[in-house]
């Protein structure tokens, strides 16, 4: 049995005060959902305030990006040991917005994942096709290529604990959600790829989130699919009530 993981990607929203306020408002509504993992992903400068506000609760903190070197002359970058010292347990890598606007490639994502493992953080590795790729019947090819590149040379025992997020780009921030059947089809393909690369045991352990316009009113049906093990949530994670309803989807 895989444990569901519901994560909020706050993108470039909410300063430190607003981030801490959101966590404080969230705590009472999600505290009884101890059978799922709850994660929030603030901007870098809000991480200390969020970690402090979430101390002693069931809410873990994710960064939205990292660099793969431990330190050095890399102006504007943040190293994984710094994220660890700040209290992050997870880091999102390869989000489509980073691929699209900041030149993130599968090779870079792979280096970031390696660095995260080296320091004991869990990567949330994102993948997903563009609308034109789906329409051209290339979804499987795109997602498989992304994942083969992102997971390259990672040992099976590391991959076992990785969180993958399938996020069709056409569904992110658009209000256009993949149907549960469409999402399940791709999740099953990803699971099959994991079987091929790492064997059934590892493939069965990896959690695969769906992301793309997840809301309180569609989360239950999505989570009901065999290979969907959680959600990566953008817009609906910015309000305590809507994110709590997603976290508490089983209640
Ligand atoms: C995301 O940012 O990963 C995302 C899925 O956004 P939204 O839920 O707003 O589509």
165-190 confidence digits (pLDDT tens): 999 999 999 988 899 999 999 999 99
Q: Residue 9 above 90 pLDDT?
A: yes
- Is residue 20 a contact partner of residue 49, using CB atoms and an 8 Å limit? yes
Which residues neighbour 102 within 8 Å (Cβ) at sequence distance 6 or greater? none
Cα–Cα distance for residue pair 201/44, rounded to 1 Å: 35
Least Cα distance to 210 among 164, 176, 242, 245 occurs for 164
Q: What percentage of the chain has pLDDT greater than the value 90?
A: 98
Q: Pick the catalytic residue: 97, 104, 167, 187? A: 167
The CATH number assigned to the domain with range 5-247 reads 3.20.20.70
| Ligand 1 centre distance from Cα of residue 218 (Å) | 14
For 67-101, b/e burial (b = at least 16 CB within 10 A) is bbeeeeeeeeebbbbbbbeeebbbbbbbbbbbbee
Is pLDDT of 109 > 90? Answer: yes
- Say if pTM beats, i.e. exceeds, 0.85: yes
Angle at 110 between CA 11 and CA 113, to 5 degrees: 65
Whether 211 lines ligand 1, by a CB cut-off of 6 Å, is yes
At 1 the pLDDT is: 85
Q: What is the pLDDT of residues 47-89, one digit of tens each?
A: 999 999 999 999 999 999 999 999 999 999 999 999 999 999 9
Report whether residue 19 contacts ligand 1, using a CB cutoff of 6 Å.
Answer: no
The residue-averaged pLDDT of 140-149 equals 98
Contact 128, 145 (CB under 8 A): no
Tell me if 169 sits within 8 A of 209, measured CB to CB.
no
Tokens at 120, concatenated = 């004991």
Percent above pLDDT 70 for the chain = 100
Q: Which of 212, 208, 216, 224 is nearest to 248 (CA)?
A: 216
Ligand 1 and 96: CB distance under 6 A: no
Kindly give the distance from the C-alpha atom of residue 203 to the centroid of ligand 1, in angstroms, as a whole number.
25
Q: Is 230 in the pocket of ligand 1 (CB under 6 A)?
A: no
Which residue carries 């990567």 as its tokens?
123
pLDDT the model gives residue 177: 87
Q: Where are the domains of the chain?
A: 5-247
């Amino acid at each position: 049995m895989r444990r569901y993981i519901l994560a909020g990607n706050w993108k470039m929203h909410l300063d430190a005060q607003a981030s801490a306020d959101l966590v404080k408002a969230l705590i009472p509504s999600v505290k009884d959902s101890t059978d799922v993992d709850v994660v929030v992903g603030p901007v870098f400068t809000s991480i200390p305030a969020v970690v402090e506000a979430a101390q002693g609760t069931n809410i873990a903190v994710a960064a939205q990006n990292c660099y793969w070197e431990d330190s050095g002359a890399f102006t504007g970058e943040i190293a994984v040991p710094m994220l660890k010292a700040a209290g992050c347990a997870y880091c999102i890598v390869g989000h489509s917005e980073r691929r699209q606007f900041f030149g993130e490639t599968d090779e870079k994502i792979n280096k970031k994942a390696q660095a995260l493992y080296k320091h004991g953080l869990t990567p949330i590795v994102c993948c997903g096709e563009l609308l034109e790729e789906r329409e051209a019947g290339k979804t499987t090819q795109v997602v498989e290529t992304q994942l083969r590149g992102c997971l390259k040379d990672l040992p099976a025992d590391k991959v076992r604990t990785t969180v993958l997020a399938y996020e069709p780009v056409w569904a992110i921030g658009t209000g256009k959600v993949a149907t549960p059947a469409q999402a399940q089809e791709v999740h099953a393909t990803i699971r099959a790829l994991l079987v091929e690369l790492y064997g059934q045991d590892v493939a069965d352990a990896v959690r695969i989130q769906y992301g793309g316009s997840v809301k309180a009113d569609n989360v239950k049906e999505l989570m009901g699919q065999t290979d969907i093990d959680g959600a990566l949530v953008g817009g609906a994670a910015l309000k305590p009530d809507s994110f709590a309803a997603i976290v508490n989807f089983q209640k």
